[in-house]
Amino acid sequence: MDGGTFSLGSDGILSALSFLTIIPVPRSGNTDISVTARNMYLFPIVGAIIGIIVGIFAYGLSIYLENYLVGFFVTIAILLITGMQHADALADFADGLMVKGSKDAKRRAMSDPAVGTAGAISLVVCIIGLIIAISTYNSAFKLLISIVVAEVIAKYIMVIEAGSGRSAWEGFSSPFTREMKDKKKIAFATISTLIIVLTLRGYIGLISLGTGLLIAGVICHLSTKNFGGLTGDVLGASNEITRLSSLLVLSLLVV
């Protein structure tokens, strides 16, 4: 692996931040998706940045508003800052899973811009789940750090899936699954995730991370069975599902 492949430079972080959010960031050089894929191992770091931004917003709201309102507005903030791209992926993933027939039929369902019944229900459940999970926190500080941890875990899960799986077809996920076969990149993502999770939430964070990894395993199994491998929608859906699971676990085990 050459020195230009593995780097902690700001351009790599900005590339990932630009991809995962709607935050306008200065970027130099090539903005092709291959650049983002090459820097996917930095997703947990970007997750921490997203979590800090949303977490500070949640902390401020918690001082003045009732918990259910905090849950509502913070959920909106999460959807807005991420451009709803992974929420859309969750809907596509659900539609693809629920379609009966061949892998090609499931692929067409995932690619259909119209949201089906399964996709709509999955979005509603996810959004309601986020509102409920966020509104259960009675400590503004615990909410802040839990949001950071949940975002880090959600982004790490995508890295692990890309590193361990294969693409169902040559498409959006392909550059990511190719680039994340680098063991040094996986190691960096894992170590950075563990440091953040352990520092902020201790053993409870590890339980949340373990839950996320179990969910990722189930998602990968379903994806392989139904589509023949991973897709961009599967990775995006995993982000949404593991964020929700992490916030729920952290809220249930908050101490």
What is the arithmetic mean of pLDDT over 140-157? 96
d(CA 123, CA 89): 10
Tokens 């789940």 -> residue: 129
- Residues in the chain, how many? 255
Sign of CA dihedral 127, 133, 137, 142: negative
Higher pLDDT, residue 112 or 165: 165
Q: Which of 72-76, 79-83, 219-223 has the highest mean pLDDT?
A: 72-76
**pLDDT of the residue at 67:** 94
Domains of the chain by residue range = 10-252
Q: State pTM to two decimals.
A: 0.91
Q: Among 141, 159, 139, which Cα is nearest to 36's?
A: 159
**pLDDT of the residue at 52:** 97
Inform me whether the pLDDT recorded for 7 exceeds 90: no
